[in-house]
């Protein structure tokens, strides 16, 4: 009985932090088998390999204050990212050869806000702007026996958020779900990690 309760609470738990509610948010959550949190962490941290598996974020480049590409293309707090993504996402599976859909291509300039390897959490979001605040968290949980959970959530607030919501929320939700599916395909399919 106690064991059952323990399993139930793990199934319902989240490793995403509590954050202030915004105007709207998108979230994704998926369980992945035959892998490890280390493998998932490495996949999320290796920006140059995103095009091999990620149907949402097609390019993510860490840059310095002059927008020059940095030698380390991994998440480091307080570095900036130039992101090219697909909203809605590309169909899976993708590879580095998959072409963008020009109508779905969007760019964003973001700041890496949290890199927490011990907590298995990463976050980056819209470069500070009085009109729009958006922070995207990604988190991993070890469920035991080679099973992990991947979660992601981005909360939007600020005066522009209600303007963006009607055109953005549903398609961005699809992109978040597709990235979760893409990560599962990569890790369960014996991909590079």
Ligand X SMILES: *[C@@H]1O[C@H](CO)[C@@H](O)[C@H](O)[C@H]1NC(C)=O
Biggest CA-to-CA distance, the chain? 58
Q: Which is nearer to ligand X, 49 or 147 (CB)?
A: 147
- Say whether residue 171 binds ligand X (CB under 6 A): no
Residue in 13, 14, 34, 129 binding ligand X, rule: CB under 6 A: 34
Under 8 Å between Cβ of 60 and 49: no
Stretch that binds ligand X, among 43-51, 94-102, 109-117, 131-139 (CB under 6 A): 109-117
Rounded to whole angstroms, the Cα distance separating 104 from 16 reads: 28
Stretch that binds ligand X, among 18-26, 84-92, 135-143, 173-181 (CB under 6 A): 18-26
Under 8 Å between Cβ of 121 and 136: no
Rounded to whole angstroms, the Cα distance separating 120 from 137 reads: 11
- Say whether residue 25 binds ligand X (CB under 6 A): yes
- Say whether residue 190 binds ligand X (CB under 6 A): no
Residue in 71, 128, 130, 144 binding ligand X, rule: CB under 6 A: 128
- Say whether residue 72 binds ligand X (CB under 6 A): no
Which is nearest to 125 in space by CA: 181, 71, 79? 79
Q: Which is nearer to ligand X, 6 or 188 (CB)?
A: 188
Sign of the Cα pseudo-torsion (107, 115, 131, 70, in order) = negative
Angle between helices 161-188 and 37-45 (to 10 degrees): 130
- Say whether residue 130 binds ligand X (CB under 6 A): no
- Say whether residue 155 binds ligand X (CB under 6 A): yes
- Say whether residue 113 binds ligand X (CB under 6 A): yes
């Amino acid at each position: 009985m106690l064991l059952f309760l323990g399993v139930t609470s793990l199934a319902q738990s989240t490793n995403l932090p509590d954050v202030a509610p915004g105007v709207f948010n998108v979230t994704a959550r998926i369980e992945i088998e035959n892998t490890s949190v280390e493998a998932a962490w490495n996949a999320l941290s290796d920006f140059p390999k995103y095009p091999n598996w990620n149907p949402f974020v097609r390019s993510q480049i860490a840059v310095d204050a002059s927008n020059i590409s940095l030698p380390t293309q991994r998440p480091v707090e307080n570095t900036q990212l130039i992101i090219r993504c697909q909203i809605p996402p590309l169909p899976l599976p993708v590879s580095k050869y998959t072409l963008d859909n020009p109508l779905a291509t969007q760019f964003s300039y973001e700041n890496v806000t949290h890199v927490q390897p011990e907590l298995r959490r990463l976050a980056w979001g819209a470069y500070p702007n009085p009109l729009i605040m958006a922070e995207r968290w990604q988190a991993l949980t070890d469920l035991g026996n080679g099973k992990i959970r991947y979660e992601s959530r981005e909360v939007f607030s600020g005066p522009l958020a209600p303007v963006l919501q009607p055109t953005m929320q549903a398609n961005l939700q699809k992109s978040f779900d597709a990235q979760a599916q893409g990560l599962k395909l990569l890790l369960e399919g014996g991909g590079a990690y």
